[in-house]
Structure 1
Amino acid sequence: MASEPESVALQRIEACIQSGRTELDLWGLGLKRLPDRLGDLTTLTSLDVSFNQLGSLPDRLGDLTALTSLDVSGNRLGSLPDRLGDLTALTSLDVSGNRLGSLPDRLG
């Protein structure tokens, strides 16, 4: 069974899919992981998952190739998936307030 934060996130993801919106805000929900369904939002241009409790990001985030803005600040990330390098349209990335020692070589 999904936790309350994950249920809220899934509702927002489904609403985004149904409406065709290109921006998704999941900040401050207390998420410990991102729902797999997020990878289906391939037309998303802006994603904010800041100020949650994320310890990692799913590789599937690399499927969101239309993203121009990604905010993962204020989480517990120790590393970023190499697949973030697939986000070639990305112009804004905020990773502040995490535990990152380095960024993937493919990023940039």
Structure 2
Amino acid sequence: MATFNDREKSFENKFAHDAELQFKADARRNKLLGLWAAQLLGKSGDDAASYAKALVKSYLEEAGHEAVYRKLSTDLGNKADEATIRAKMSSLTVEAKAQIMSEQS
């Protein structure tokens, strides 16, 4: 029975680890999205960093990718359409995961 319990514990640990990595990647993606959107909005320096933090915070307050999309869509108005925002979200998800994985090596 010890083997079964060991396997179960191993799967639980892997699940927790994967969930933590996904959370970190989502937060990193949202920060990168915030910096991208800030640039479109003409923000730079501390203003851009503050905007990126606000976007990360919006994800934490109302968990979900759609909350991030809605905030970006509202804030950007006609500066970026839905397809552009969603494509950027997708590409930055890949980039954020790569960054997180390279930091873990």
TM-score tier, shorter chain, comes to under 0.3
Tell which structure's C-alpha radius of gyration is larger.
Answer: 2
Which structure has the higher relative contact order (CA within 8 Å, separation 6+)?
2
TM-score for both structures, normalised by structure 2: 0.26
> Greater share of helix residues, 1 or 2?
2
